[in-house]
Chain A
Amino acid sequence: MTEKVLSLDNVVKRFGGFAAVDDLSFSVERGEILGFLGPNGAGKTTTLRMILDIIPPTSGAISVLGSSSAIPVRHRIGYLPEERGLYRKMRAADTIAYFAKLRGVPGRAARKKANDLLERFGLKDFARSKNEALSKGMAQKVQLLSTIAHEPELLILDEPFSGLDPLNQATLEDLIRELKREGRTIIFSTHVMQHAERLCDRFLIIAKGKKRFDGDIKEARASFPPRLIIRTTDNIDRLRHAPGVKRITPIDGAAGAETDYEIGLAPGADPQVVLKAAFEAGIRLSRFEHASATLHDIFVALAGDKGAAELEAPSEEAA
């Protein structure tokens, strides 16, 4: 039986009359990686702060590691906020050890752990350097190592990849996978959908404080209307009435006299029927592609107002 590490039930957070988080419910199971996605101002950081009991919810219930507040279990949680910094005059190893000690690790063990982590992540030579002397990437690593030095069960990473070069992004991806293998539960928010698609078991997309999607990538794709990309020089008006076609939209991409079109299909529609209809109508195709929705497409569609409307009204007929 799976164990819920975190659950939110009908959580609302209001600032004056503004609802930053509106009736949000979701849960995270032990050992999974949840991608917490949403556009800027969606309410992600407010939700994470409520989970950590940095700010209280206006209403609703939050359970973290079996506790109704994160405060009694905070030593079992690691949090890397989106806006993060370091004490400029503190040394790298001291910083990691300090935060580990604040999260309950005994002094000597904290210092050893700090040095071990710095060595493992290629920063051994900078252990005695002051944070102000580190490059941005190095400082990011120190921040991340400060978050995991106390070996938390639940890791909350808010935009962990921002500021890292591609090599360090790959290192961080490996670290997140390793932490998962060790059985840790990870929630991370990001704007880089490729990272989320590669790493996450499940996604939670919120916009304007409301939940827009909660499930894995297959469920997301299944709930997202299938589409075809075709390229032709001919008039395609006759395809608009083919079975399963909801809409046809010209898109950029083709060169010369050819034009690319995106054909939105009804859920369960067979693309071969559309191909057959094109032949029967005498439309010559130089490209015919059944395109699965990427997480980026799904995010843009679900998090944006237009996509949300589409999700809410999937049976809209083609023009």
Chain B
Amino acid sequence: MRSVLLIAWREYRQYIFSRGFLLFLIMFPISVIFVGAVVGFLEHAKPARTYVVVDQTGRFAGAIAEEIEWRWKRSVVSAWDAYVAMVVDERAIEEGLIAEPFAPGTVSRARLRVFFEKGLDAARAAIAPYLSESAPPFVEPRRQFLRLPLPDEVAAAPTVEAAASLLRPYLLDDKRLPGADRPLFAAIIIPEGFSAAKDAPTAEFWSRNLTDTALESAVSSALDYALQREAVAALGFSTDDLEAVASLEGPLASFRPDKEDADAKLSLKDHIETTLPAAMTYMLLVVIFGVGNLLLTNTIEERSNKIVEVLLSSVTANELMLGKLIGIGAVGLTMPTIFVFGGLIATFAAGGGEWTGAAVSALFGSNLLAVYLFYFFCAYVIFAMIFLAIGAMSNSLQDAQSYMGPVMLIVFLPLPFMIMVYQNPNGLIASILTWIPIYTPYAVMMRAVSDPPLWEIVGATALMLAFAAVFVRAMGRIFKSAILQGSPPKARDVWRLLRGDAR
């Protein structure tokens, strides 16, 4: 066993303590923070996009300005909620010590109205007693859009076409609007007769930038809302009535029939538990793919560099295989483990205490992790042995390519069906995949939290273990027979190698 652990440790060290891996570990969080900071900075530093409105009806320019203002206010309150969650003592929020509308919550029009009536100074005062000492000040988001006055000749344009023609040079930056220091971003033209009627003329949105749709979306919402207001007014209702109706929400809670009444209501932990299988299956695929490549290149190096014969004079082929499986498997698990724990710590540090607690509880509060690790291990051994055998038959990656195509197809074949298993964990597809030994780990991991029939899981697992025993033995024979052959064996030699006939 000492030899196995020595080999495993060497394999592990080779990758984990390599400069590349350590650099990646250091660079990854730095890159995430850097990218986040740069995106935030650029978003913050981005100048407000300018627009003009040609409203031949005289009814909608105000609605557009209102909608843009409302959206800005909504972004302020959303930023405020995130800020409060981050810098205020969690208990103060849970115990309701922060007065409405300054406590984090749903961003409704009613809340926005009250929030801005009271103002940001009142908001700051409301949270002041509960602020942590090192809390940074709240910085409100900048306004994204700035409306500019129309040039006189455009305002006087008799038709939509004439207005559009006159605005075109401004949009193409051939001309600048008076006082503007940047090109006109967009022009909105609302023609005479614009309404909700089918044969009414359409409003027009002109812009060179077709990818930044934030303003277009705001204009569209503003026009919709304005037309809705006119419609309800025609029916004899007020705007307040419309808002009241629009803000109505039907309370709906989800429950699990397999739990007692007190626990039946779907919690955050339940949501995480149902997402976990997909995450673990995805991780399994990523690890198998990553580890498979490591095993392949590593075995090819030992074979082509003629190290393997020295190794085999010191350890048995089985010890060598086992050491490699353990070492490279540990490499494969290291990165996701670092990311999972790093992610949990980062989420916790960022104020996601509730989420972190639910995730930790979902991971460690049941036997789910043990179940995942068992099937993870089984899948890893089955697929890793394939890569070991291919590595033993190849002197170069080019040699290995001829085997890798079909293998990768087999590895990733269940991927499209996994969505079906996720949505219907006890359906026909799930059952079929469960009984195919090489896919049993994927399928059972996906079904683990859905109470599949016990007999099915036990039977399929027994079949998988029997298959794994035979398969590992067969791949081991290929490894042992092929690894010492001078020239790499051909695909047609696989049967000979399976019989343990080395040349």
Residues of A within 8 A of B (CB): 15-16, 49, 52, 54-55, 71, 74, 77, 79-81, 83-90, 98-99, 101-104, 143, 146-147
Contact = CB atoms under 8 A, between A and B. Distances in A.
B6 A101 contact: yes
Contacts of A147: 310
A104 B315 CA distance: 11
Given A15-B501, A15-B502, A54-B484, A98 B6 contact: yes
B423 interface: no
A66 B301 CA distance: 35
B307 A86 contact: yes
Contacts of A79: 309-310, 313
Nearest to A77: B313
Given A55-B502, A89-B14, A102-B3, A84 B310 contact: yes
B314 interface: yes
B305 interface: yes
B306 A81 contact: yes
A55 B484 contact: yes
Contacts of B313: 52, 54, 74, 77, 79, 81
B109 interface: no
27 contacts: A16-B496, A52-B312, A54-B313, A54-B484, A55-B484, A55-B502, A74-B314, A74-B315, A77-B313, A79-B310, A79-B313, A83-B486, A84-B306, A85-B304, A85-B306, A86-B305, A86-B307, A87-B301, A89-B18, A98-B6, A101-B6, A102-B3, A102-B6, A102-B311, A103-B314, A146-B310, A147-B310
Given A55-B484, A83-B306, 13 more contacts: A15-B502, A16-B496, A52-B312, A54-B309, A81-B310, A85-B307, A87-B301, A87-B307, A89-B14, A98-B10, A99-B314, A102-B7, A102-B311
A143 B309 CA distance: 12
A32 B314 CA distance: 23
Interface string B294-311: 000000010011110111
B165 interface: no
Contact of B314 (A16, A102, A143): A102
**Residue from B304, B312, B486 with most neighbouring chain A CB atoms (10 Å):** B312
B312 A54 contact: yes
A195 B10 CA distance: 36
Contacts of A83: 306, 309, 486
Interface residues of B, number: 27
Nearest to B320: A102
A85 B305 CA distance: 5
Contacts of B311: 102
Interface string B3-33: 1001100100010001000000000000000
A102 B315 contact: yes
Nearest to B10: A98
Contacts of B310: 79-81, 84, 99, 143, 146-147
B259 to A, nearest CB: 53
**Residue from A15, A16, A85 with most neighbouring chain B CB atoms (10 Å):** A85
B205 to A, nearest CB: 59
B316 A71 contact: yes
B503 interface: yes
A210 B486 CA distance: 22
Q: Which 7 A-B pairs have the closest CB atoms?
A: A85-B305, A79-B313, A85-B306, A83-B306, A81-B309, A102-B314, A54-B312
Interface string B486-497: 100000000010
Contacts of B2: 104
Contacts of A15: 501-503
B478 to A, nearest CB: 15
A58 to B, nearest CB: 11
Nearest to A107: B6
A90 B13 CA distance: 10
Contacts of B315: 74, 102
Contacts of A84: 306-307, 309-310
A198 B110 CA distance: 102
B305 A88 contact: yes
Contacts of A101: 6
B311 to A, nearest CB: 8
B194 to A, nearest CB: 71
Nearest to A102: B314
Nearest to B308: A85
Nearest to B7: A102
A49 B501 contact: no
Contacts of B306: 81, 83-85
Contacts of B7: 102
